[in-house]
Amino acid sequence: MSQKWVYMFKEGDPKNKNLLGGKGANLADMTQLGLPIPQGFIVTTEACTGYYDNGKKLTEEMEGQIRASLAELEALSGKKFGDNENPLLVSVRSGARVSMPGMMDTVLNLGLTDAAVEGLAKKTDNPRFAYDSYRRFIQMFSDVVMEIPKPRFEKIIDELKEEKGVKLDTDLTADDLKEMIVRYKALYKQEKGEEFPQDPELQLMESIKAVFRSWMNPRAIVYRRMHDYPASWGTAVNVQMMVFGNMGDTSGTGVAFTRNPSTGENKIYGEYLINAQGEDVVAGIRTPNPISQLAEDMPEVYAEFERIYTKLENHYCDMQDMEFTVEDKKLYFLQTRNGKRTAAAALKIAVDLVAEGKLTEEQAVLRVDPKQLDQLLHPMFDPKALKAAKVIGSALPASPGAAAGKVYFTAEDAKNAAAAGERVILVRLETSPEDIEGMAAAKGILTVRGGMTSHAAVVARGMGTCCVSGCGEVKINEEAKTFELAGTVYKEGDYISLDGSTGNIYGEDVATIEPEITGDFETLMVWADKVRTLKVRTNADTPKDAANAVRFGAEGIGLCRTEHMFFEEDRIMKVRKMIVAKEEAERRAALLELLPFQKQDFVGIYEAMESRPVTIRLLDPPLHEFLPHSDEDIAELAKAMGISFEELKATVESLHEFNPMMGHRGCRLAVSYPEIAEMQARAIIEAAIQVKKEKGFAIVPEIMIPLVGEKKELQFVKDIVVKTADAAIKEAGIELEYHVGTMIEIPRAALTADAIAEDAEFFSFGTNDLTQMTFGFSRDDAGKFLEDYYSKEIYEVDPFARLDQTGVGQLIQIAAEKGRKTRPDIKLGICGEHGGDPSSIEFCHKVGLNYVSCSPFRVPIARLAAAQSAIKNK
Ligand code: ADP
Ligand code: MG
Ligand code: MG
């Protein structure tokens, strides 16, 4: 059966981004709006998947449709593809559903050959332009399609410039460029063992296939994983008639945003270069002019530009990121898309568009990417420390935020240092897509070259990483791994700080402070809270974390781990005594010493949470985590306990487990040693009574029993808890409501949830353990082999970061249903890492959980994600 694989811009459905890709759909849209767009056609994303299904070949049907569309384009343009007098030249551009900046490569000026270039030179009466276009084409085709490394060509340019004694590419003459072409072609032949292809149709088909192949290149795979995009989407290819910004001083090319992508300010923002083509602006080869200059250079062109960008913004009701080219004073638009922006800009634009009457509040809530809020929830410079710090340099404020850390000079070093726990500042001449992982690992990025729309700037803004770009004063010595600025040499590992909002660079580690939710941020969060139905709690173990989370809007604590406090200096000895105790009486004595500490912990947390619900989990980790391991520690403890070193060492060894994650932990501890649960229940209840009495807060503790897999074990531990709690309440002579529930983190618990719900008043899905137990691999070890699973396309994402809805999600669904069957009003929540992940939150919304719980810094992200889930699933 035949299928339509290719659409002309004028016939494609602008709404169908899935089929046409984002770039293609918008080119179709702009064409149909009557804007000046060089015409062309789109080879669909289905053709991309078809290409892979067909053993990485275009089918005859696809090739036939491409030829037919090319003929149509010839008719539209009045030029002929492969003609030696008036050749039609095209660009071949990739375009997935969502933009993946810099991930895939574009070939420009395709259709040029040794003969056609002469025709072009004659026809335009501009040989310099013709040869420049041809040499660019050879370079791009060789790089993108034939994989001959780009630096080989750049070396030829540099050599030629040196021979000719010129500094800029634009200073090279037509004859120089002709010579460059000779050298390029020689390089091509040397690399490929054949002449540079002179058949335009072959050039085209090869380029289209190369774009399809690039969908699977390692950079694209990493980028997709970072953004949760599946490989099955595929990319479309756009074949578009060329327009030329490199025809002389009445031509140029540029990029612009309808609003400021850094701050959101409602003012056109852009850069352009005279006599340049394509990527020259973003590649940072020459320093571009601000867009305001265009109004002076070519006022009529600027007026037209203004008319079109206003129309585009109103059409899409969002800030646009556009590419344009001026060919001999005639303006063309080459691309528009909703622009990437910083979180602060995203909030301002969304709130402004509501004020401008262009969006409703709910539409505005959908406009901000929850994950992006992360940028605003991280530290900023402490104004006092900042004032005291000395500015050693300043460049473009390319992506806001504050970053302080140690300098590293390669993406690889940055990645490794960050993995080792360092705060990293990546310092580069300029960044390229290969640097993506190092950029993601860095707190801040400093580049020597490149403008506000350079690769570093665009990618950093997308990631929310602080970036200062284009600092020409920095002298990098890449080999020695040093750089010099303001007379000082900074070595690898030295501290610097970057202010991405001002562009300032500091030669020291400047202190940072906690962020706050105010202004547009607050406005949008209020709108979000109006529509969401999921509650948002936090995972917090200390009063400080709890107070932070409340500031960010947490409505309770979903998980308070009771063991973290055991590691503190004044307690660890007591905890160890408790663990190595041989008899119950001895253990009870140690627990009695711990009780006041534990009670005090809970008092602090209740006070921070005021009357909000607090879920406290009983002791969970394997006991060996608390044991003394070094001989020194053992000796010290033995002395404190009045036993011999040997005896204690033997006890410690006897507690060794082969697989502690699946060993003596969770409620199993309370089954063996009920007195531990007893002490904890007492601390939880007595603290609640104290705070209720002293502060008048209506505390309703929720006591959570971890790692349950069997109703009877829950029953056993619950009995101890209830008995202890009731006795404490009776003794205090006060009313206190409390609840006992369980974690669902063992598959068996999920499958028997109906029985378990008879004893549990609430379930909290511990999806870290549930994922680990369902997949059967340890979250501590999975990192080592998951990389192989990504590269072999077995898994696309880390199941510990994003809930596996198919498998683990099914267990959640089963448990929720079964639990509700037994106990219709059972309270359901999630407290694993996934509680702060937007796509997992949407799943929780759909399953009908009551709340998600996440780390304090993710609370606003979860609030927004919950609101979006409610709007999307209305
Ligand atoms: P990316 O997605 O990396 O931005 P593009 O496909 O948009 O890649 O193209 C890269 C550059 O080439 C852009 O500056 C674009 O404007 C320019 N370009 C693409 N097609 C044409 C064309 N037909 N005529 C002129 N310039 C073009
Ligand atoms: Mg590109
Ligand atoms: Mg582009």
Phi then psi dihedrals of residue 594, to 5 deg: -80, -30
> Looking at ligand 1, which atom is closest to the CA of residue 244?
25
Q: How far apart, in whole angstroms, are the C-alpha atoms of residue 113 and residue 199? A: 8
Relative to beta strand 90-96, strand 107-110 is antiparallel
In the reported structure, the alpha carbon of residue 30 is separated from the centroid of ligand 1 by a whole-number distance in angstroms of: 15
Give the pLDDT score at 103.
Answer: 60
Q: How far apart, in whole angstroms, are the C-alpha atoms of residue 426 and residue 432? A: 13
Q: Does the Cβ of 837 fall within 6 Å of ligand 1?
A: no
With contact defined as beta carbons under 8 Å apart, do 268 and 257 qualify? yes
> Looking at ligand 1, which atom is closest to the CA of residue 99?
2
pLDDT digits (tens, 9 = 90+) for 509-565: 999 887 888 899 999 999 999 999 999 999 998 898 899 899 999 999 999 999 877
Q: Whose CA is nearest to atom 26 of ligand 1?
A: 278
Task: Kindly identify the ligand whose nearest atom is closest to the C-alpha of 281.
Answer: 1
Task: Kindly identify the ligand whose nearest atom is closest to the C-alpha of 40.
Answer: 1
- CA 649, chain centre distance (Å): 47
Element (H, E) at 383: helix 383-388
Task: Read off the pTM.
Answer: 0.81
In the reported structure, the alpha carbon of residue 105 is separated from the centroid of ligand 2 by a whole-number distance in angstroms of: 4
Verify whether residue 831 is a known catalytic residue. Answer: yes
The closest alpha carbon to 374, from 431, 473, 443, belongs to 443
Q: How far apart, in whole angstroms, are the C-alpha atoms of residue 350 and residue 373? A: 13
With contact defined as beta carbons under 8 Å apart, do 143 and 149 qualify? yes
In the reported structure, the alpha carbon of residue 434 is separated from the centroid of ligand 2 by a whole-number distance in angstroms of: 13
Q: How far apart, in whole angstroms, are the C-alpha atoms of residue 304 and residue 845? A: 47
Verify whether residue 227 is a known catalytic residue. Answer: no
Q: How far apart, in whole angstroms, are the C-alpha atoms of residue 310 and residue 305? A: 9
pLDDT digits (tens, 9 = 90+) for 381-418: 988 898 899 999 999 888 888 999 999 999 999 999 99
Q: How far apart, in whole angstroms, are the C-alpha atoms of residue 104 and residue 95? A: 8
In the reported structure, the alpha carbon of residue 576 is separated from the centroid of ligand 3 by a whole-number distance in angstroms of: 61
Q: Does the Cβ of 367 fall within 6 Å of ligand 1?
A: no
- Sign for the CA dihedral angle at 314, 315, 319, 325 comes to negative
Please name the residues in contact with 518: beta carbons below 8 A apart, sequence gap of 6 or more.
none
In the reported structure, the alpha carbon of residue 92 is separated from the centroid of ligand 1 by a whole-number distance in angstroms of: 8
Q: Does the Cβ of 30 fall within 6 Å of ligand 1?
A: no
Low-confidence ranges of the chain (pLDDT < 70): 1, 101-104, 282-285, 462, 464
Q: Does the Cβ of 325 fall within 6 Å of ligand 1?
A: yes
Q: Does the Cβ of 93 fall within 6 Å of ligand 1?
A: yes
Q: Does the Cβ of 31 fall within 6 Å of ligand 1?
A: no
Q: How far apart are the first and last CA of the chain?
A: 39
In the reported structure, the alpha carbon of residue 214 is separated from the centroid of ligand 2 by a whole-number distance in angstroms of: 12
> Looking at ligand 1, which atom is closest to the CA of residue 90?
23
Q: Does the Cβ of 243 fall within 6 Å of ligand 1?
A: yes
At CA 357, angle to CA 353 and CA 359, rounded to 5? 55
Give the pLDDT score at 282.
Answer: 66
Active-site hit among 466, 471, 831, 844: 831
Q: Does the Cβ of 242 fall within 6 Å of ligand 1?
A: yes
